[in-house]
Structure 1
């Protein structure tokens, strides 16, 4: 497995943004209806990542926290059945909800 690190994630963001633009450009011609909104956004501040790091304190979460150090959100609704990554704050809310049910 390729380690996830800042430069790798940043390169991935650039590539996914480029591919999403290409995908959307020919979508309506090919499928007959307009595509949904496709994007990969970068993190603007570290607040979500810091909250996630506080919520997930085990070592197994390092890669996820590193990912959220760079990626804010992903929306690719027309790729397969759709591919979405919510903002870190929503992951923290989900973790809190899970811990309340245990």
Structure 2
């Protein structure tokens, strides 16, 4: 006997079953990612209560803090680069001078 519809397996997972199937690994992954994101947001002084009330304002303030922190880090790196270069560059020049004289 032939039918117009192809035979479907009895244990077929529907979209809803696949969507609602949550394993232990999924829960652990969500917890770990939530903690990491929480640490990053805490470093940017984001208040979770304020985030719920004023999402875009809080994100804007966090972005401004991040840019400020990035700018401060660049200036910090430049200061220490110049401080180190005061000692390293003259030593390097003397080394190059002595090594080029020694090769003759």
- Shorter-chain TM-score: which interval? under 0.3
TM-score by length of structure 2 reads 0.24
Structure with more helix by fraction: 2
Scaled by the length of structure 1, what TM-score is found?
Answer: 0.24
Structure showing greater Rg: 2
Name the one with the larger strand percent.
1
